[in-house]
Structure formats: structure tokens, C-alpha cells
Structure 1
Amino acid sequence: MCYGISIYLSESHSFNKNWVEKAAKNGFQYIFTSLHIPEEAEVNFIKQVKSLGKMAAEAHMEVMADVSPASLRRLGLSFTELPSIADWGISGLRLDYGFTAKQIAWLSHSLKIGLNASTTDEEQLKELLDEGLQTNQAEAWHNFYPKPFTGISRQSLKERNSLFHRYGIKTMGFIQGDDRLRGPLYEGLPTIEDHRNVTPIDAALELRELGTDKVCVGDLNLTDQTLKEFCSLMDGTVPLYVELNEGYEHFYKLIHTNRMDAAQYVIRSVESRGMELLYDQEAHNSETFKKGSITVDNKLYGRYAGELQICLEDLPANPNMNVAGYVREESLSMLKWVGSGQKFVLHKK
């Protein structure tokens, strides 16, 4: 997976510079910007685009810019001059409405091209290929949807991803931020409508599950805590916020791996059984281990002793297992992403 951020030229230079530097430091690799958003009509585009290109180069990040024919006029460029935008530090262009298949295919020989993944159908895609589109220079970018209840469904995104993957083209989807949301509606900028009310990390994991190759934060920024979560995700690890009981604090910050033969009802840590720690039986009054309960097998469980598990749903309590802690409410939705062979880490809030 590859992760990116969005930069809006109407924001101050200092705000954008700080966000680019912070995102780059936390592993984000590319920038999306739009050159035809109505709210940005007063922006000095040539100066701002060149400034963004320089900023991105210093942070070693690529820039993909959303353009329309109107954008070209504001940039003072003709279509045939578009390849020169690479000299401004722009890596590629997402060509929205107003361009022909022949133009898009021609441009793919000199710049990375972003197709509209949400609206381009197979017939149009075949026309682009017939005109000479370079698939190794093309990506398919979904839209984001500022207005509530206008985003697409999970199934629609999955089907669109499958279409482009059949032709060797990677896809990108947007997730909303969780710090400053972008106006004028301030309702988040996701691709999937149901992601409007979930955490950015949860949305990113679902986009991955649905076959999306790249994830971009549509809004203005992320909290520092969420940035740390994305650092874990970029390392291939699902972050879980938990509370561990006294005597089990050593499980914090360790990298665990769910077994390849993933169990239906629990997550089983491969690493915990190699720690060779034996635990005496501890009394617990509950008849049920609730979903999110973190258990460790005590020495009554014989060869299983020491194994850490996380309950994926309510299960009958077992005297051979000690309660080591619990997954916090905000991380319960993340458990479904800890599948076969998936690494995870237990963080203290």
C-alpha cells in the first residue's frame, strides 16, 4: 500500500509546508492537489503550484494534480505544453472532464496519468488503450464526496477496482481526516459514504481489503495520534489500543502475529508462546470473556501455556485462561482486520 495527503492551495504556505513535512516524516509518499476547485479561484496558481512542487521535492514526495481545461488557462499552458509541468515538480496529472482519449493517451507517454476511477467505464478504458495509453504510467483515482450521502458504496468501489486491475492499472481511494476537515461543508472527504463516520485508519484498512492500491487523506490533516497509527500500518502492523492488567504490561508495544491458520473466534499471537513465561491461575468472576478481552493461557493449559489471545466475540470463560486486559472501545472495529498472518501491536492509550 501507498499513502498520500491532500494539499489545497487556498491554505497558507506555512500550514501546507508543516503538513507536508509532518506527513513525509511519518511515511506518506505522495500529494494530491486540485487545480480546479471553485473555492480556490483567487489563488495565484502558477506561483503556488511551483511552490508546492518545490516543497514536495524537498520532502521526497510525488505530486498528482487534478486538472481541467479551465485549469490550463489559469496556468498559462496549452495542452501540448503540459509535459513541461514536470519542471515545476508535478509528477502527474489526474485528467478530469474535458479531455479526449487521444489527448490522455498522448500525455501518458511523458507524465503519470490519473484516470477517474469512479466514472470511467470499460468501453472508455478500451478506447484509451486503443489510443496508446501507457498502463505503467496510469492510475485510476476515485473521487471524494464532500456532500453527505453522495459517496459510493463498498461494492461499487470493489467492482471499479477489479475493472482497472484487469488492465494492469492501480487504483486510489480517499479517506477523511480527523483533525481539520475541509470546508465549505466540513463533513469529511471520503470516497466510500460509510467511511464518513469511521476512523481514518479503519477506512484505510477497508480500502486495502477492497483491493485499493493507494490511500489518500482527502481532508486537511490528521491528528498526531492517527499519524502514529499510520506509521504502524505502513510497517504492515495493525495498531490496537488496549488496557493491560498488572503483570502483563510487557505485552505493550510488542509485534504480534495472528496465526496463519487464523481461528474463527480468537486472534492467537504466534510470538507469545515463544516467550516461555508461565502464569499461575488467576480467579475471574465473569462467566463470559467479552469481545475484545485479552487472555493469556495459564499453566493449567499445559503446552498452550503463555499464549495470548484476543476474543473476536463473547465466549465462555475458561479457568485455564487469565484475563490480561481488554481492547479499548475505539479499537474494537479494528479486530476484523487482524486476519491470517497479520501483524498487530498493542498500544497503551
Structure 2
Amino acid sequence: MCYGISIYLSESDTFNKNWMEKAAKNGFQYIFTSLHIPEEKNVDYVKQVKWLGKTAQEFHMEVMADVSPASLERLGLLFSELPSLTDWGISGIRMDYGFTAKQIAWLSHHLKIGLNASTIDEEELKKLMDEGLQPNQTEAWHNFYPKPFTGISKQSLYERNALFHRYGIKTMAFIQGDEQLRGPLQLGLPTIENHRHVSPALAALELQEMNTDKICVGDLNLMNKTLQELKYLMEGTVPLYADFNKGYEIFNNMVHSNRMDAAEYVIRSVESRQQLSHFQQEAHGLEVFNEGTITVENELYGRYAGELQICLKDIPADTKTNVAGRIKEESLSLMKKVGGGKRFVLLNSNVK
């Protein structure tokens, strides 16, 4: 799974460089930028694109630039000169409107190409293939949607991803940021409308579940806490914030795996029973373990002693089971994404 960030050339070089450095340190691998945003005025595109390409190379990040025929005028380039963008440090271009199938196919032999995944249909895709489009040089990039209620549905994205995968083309979609949202609306830049008001980590995990190959942050930046969460997701681990009761701190920051034969009611940690610690019975006075409760089987549970579980639903309490802590409210949605064999980590909820 590959993650990227968006860079807007109207922002200051200092701001953009700091964001690139922070993202690169947290495992992000590529940059998206657009060369035809109406709000971006008084931008020296040639100077800024060359600066972006050079700076991205310092952080070992690829750059994909969104272009239109009008963008070529801003760059002072003819269409046939687009391959020279590699000399500027640009890895590829997302080609929006205004280009023919023959032009796009030709360019895929010289640059990485991004198609508009949200608008192109199968007939157009077949035409591109007939013209010689190189699938291994092509990606399908979904749009982001600044205006509320205009983003696409999960079903639509899933179906369109499947379409491009049939032709051997990888896909990309956007998640919103959470620290500084981009204007003029500042309402997030997701691809899927229902992601506008969820955490970036949950949005990213759902995009992964819909077989999206690359994920890009549409907004200006992310909080450090969110960067940490996404770094875990890149490594195939679901981050869950938790509060542990005294005596159970051993499980803090420990990476667990849910059993392959995932239970309906609980997440069962494979690794917890391999620990040497065994817990004596503790009175809890509960009749029900609520959703999000973290439990550990005590010594009365025999061979199950020491097994950590997380309640996916409310279940009857048991005297053979101790209450170790609780998943934070903010992580309950992510908790439900921990399927069979999925890794997860329990993090101190005070980490900022």
C-alpha cells in the first residue's frame, strides 16, 4: 500500500517543504499537485514546478502533476515536450480533460500516466488500450470533492477500482486531512462523500478494503497523531487507542494479531497467550462487558489464561475474566475493521 500527500503551489515553499519532510519521515512515497486550480493565481508555475520536483527528489518522493491543455501554456510546453518534465523531477502526469486517446497512449510510453478514474468509462478505456496505452505505466486517479454531498459512494469506487484492475491498472483515491483543511471551503477533500466526517485513518482503511492501491491526503497536512496512525496502516497494522487499568500496561504498544478464525463477538489476541504473565482473579462487579472492553482471562480459565480479548459487542461478564481496560471512543470504528488474521496495536491514548 502506497501513501502520498498533496502539495499546492500557492502555499509557501517553507510550508510545503516542511510538509514533504514530515510526510517522507512517516513513510509517504509520492506527491500529487495540480497545475489548473482556479484559486491559484500569481503563481510562477515553471519556477514552482521545478522547485517541487527538485525538493521531492531530496526526500525520495515521486511527483504526479494534474494537467490540462491550459496547463501546458502555463508551463510553456508543447504536448510533444511533456516527456521533458522528468528533467524537472516530475515522475508523471494525471491527464484530465482536453487530450485525445492517441495522445494519452503515446505519452504512456514516455511518462507515468494518471487517468481520471471517476469519469472514464470502459469504452474509453478500451479505446486507450487499442491505441497502445501501457498499463504498467498507467494509474487511475479518482477526484477529490471540496463541496459537501458531491463525493462518490463506496460502491461506485469499489466498482470502478474493479474495472481498472481488470485492465492491469492500479488506482488511487483521496482522504481528507485533519489539521489544516484547504480553502476556500475548508470542508475536507475526500473522494468518498461518507469519508468527509470520519478520521483519515478510518477513511484510509476503508479505501484499502475497497482494493484501492494508492491513498493520497487531499488537504494541506495532518496532525502528528494521524501520521502515526497512517504509518501503522502502511505496515498492515490497525492502530487502536486504549486506556489500560493498572497492572495491564504490559499490553501497551504491543502488536497483536486477531485469530484467523475470527470470532463474531470478540477480537482474540494470538500473541497474548504467549506472554509469561498470568493474572489472578479480580472482582469487577459487572454483569455485561460492553463493546470496546479489553479483557484478559485470569488463572481460573485454565489453558486460556492470559488471553487478551476486545469485545466487538456487549457480552455477559464472567468471573474468570478480568477487565484490563477499554478502547477509546475514537477507535471503536477502527476496532471493527480488525478481521481474521489482522494485526492491531494498542496505543496509549495520551500520545499526541
Same fold, TM-score > 0.5, yes or no? yes
Partner of 2:200: 200
TM-score, normalised by the number of residues in structure 1: 0.99
**Distance in 2 of aligned mates of 1:120 and 1:311:** 43
**Shift in Å, 1:250:** 0.8
Shift in Å at residue 311 of structure 1?
A: 0.3
Aligned residue in 1 for 2:123: 123
CA distance in 1 between counterparts of 2:120 and 2:20 reads: 30
Give runs of aligned pairs for residues 204-243 of structure 1, distance below 5 A.
Answer: 204-243=204-243
The count of aligned residue pairs is: 349
1:163-185, Cα deviation, whole Å (9 max, x unpaired): 00011100000000000000000
Query: 2: CA distance between counterparts of 1:258 and 1:276?
Result: 19
For 2:279, give the aligned amino acid: Y
Percent identity between matched residues is 73
Q: Which amino acid aligns with 1:343?
A: R
What letter is aligned with 1:42? N
Question: Partner residue of 2:157?
Answer: 157
Partner secondary structure for residue 15 of structure 2: helix
Q: Give the secondary-structure state (helix, strand or coil) at the position aligned to 1:129.
A: helix
Q: 2-side partners of 1:316 and 1:15: how far apart?
A: 52
**Within the alignment, does 1:139 sit opposite 2:139 as a pair?**
yes
Q: Which moved more, 1:273-282 or 1:125-134?
A: 273-282
In the alignment, structure 1 segments of 5+ residues that lack a partner are none
Q: Within the alignment, does 1:169 sit opposite 2:169 as a pair?
A: yes
1: CA distance between counterparts of 2:204 and 2:318?
35
Cα distance between partner residues in 2 of 1:172 and 1:41: 27
Q: Which residue of 1 aligns with 2:262?
A: 262
Please list every run of at least 4 consecutive aligned residues from structure 1 whose deviation after the TM superposition is greater than 4 angstroms: none
SS of structure 2 residue aligned to 1:211: coil
After superposition, where does 1:248-287 map in structure 2 within 5 Å? 248-287=248-287
Cα distance in structure 2, aligned partners of 1:58 and 1:277: 47
Match of 1:74, SS state, is helix
After TM superposition, give the deviation of residue 276 of structure 1 in Å. 2.8
User: Residues 44-59 of structure 1: matches in 2 within 5 Å?
Assistant: 44-59=44-59
In 2, Cα distance between equivalents of 1:207 and 1:265: 24
Most deviating of 334-343 and 190-199: 334-343
The superposition leaves residues 306-334 of structure 1 with CA deviations (integer Å, 9 ceiling, x where unpaired) of 00000001111111110000000000010
Secondary structure in 2 aligned to 1:231?
helix
* C-alpha distance in 2 between matches for 1:83 and 1:337: 42
Counterparts of 1:226 and 1:119, CA distance in 2: 30
**1:230 Cα deviation after fit:** 1.3
Counterpart CA distance in 2 for 1:236 and 1:204 is: 12
Answering whether residue 313 of structure 2 is matched by residue 301 of structure 1, we say no
SS in 2 for 1:337: coil
CA RMSD of aligned residues (A): 0.6
Separation in 2 of the partners of 1:339 and 1:293? 17
3-state SS, counterpart of residue 196 of structure 2:
helix
Q: What is the alpha-carbon distance in structure 2 between the residues aligned to residue 248 and residue 176 of structure 1? A: 35
What is the rounded CA distance, in whole Å, between the counterparts of 1:50 and 1:256 in structure 2?
A: 44
TM-score (norm 2): 0.98
Give, in angstroms, the shift of residue 156 of structure 1.
0.3
Moved more, 226-235 or 190-199: 226-235
Q: Residues of 1 paired with 2:242 and 2:85: CA distance?
A: 48
Q: Which amino acid aligns with 1:141?
A: W
Aligned residue for 1:313, secondary structure, equals coil
SS at 1:40 equivalent: coil
CA distance in structure 2 between the partners assigned to 1:225 and 1:159 by the alignment:
32
Q: What residue identity is the alignment partner of 1:184? A: P
1:65 alignment partner in structure 2 = 65
Amino acid at match of 2:141: W
Shift in Å at residue 41 of structure 1?
2.8
Find the residue that maps to 1:295 and give its secondary structure: strand
1:246 is the counterpart of 2:246? yes
Residues of 2 paired with 1:231 and 1:10: CA distance?
A: 27
1:9 paired residue number: 9
Q: Name the amino acid aligned to 1:255.
A: V
Give CA deviations for 1:17-50 in whole Å, capped at 9, x if unaligned: 0000000000000000000001113200000000
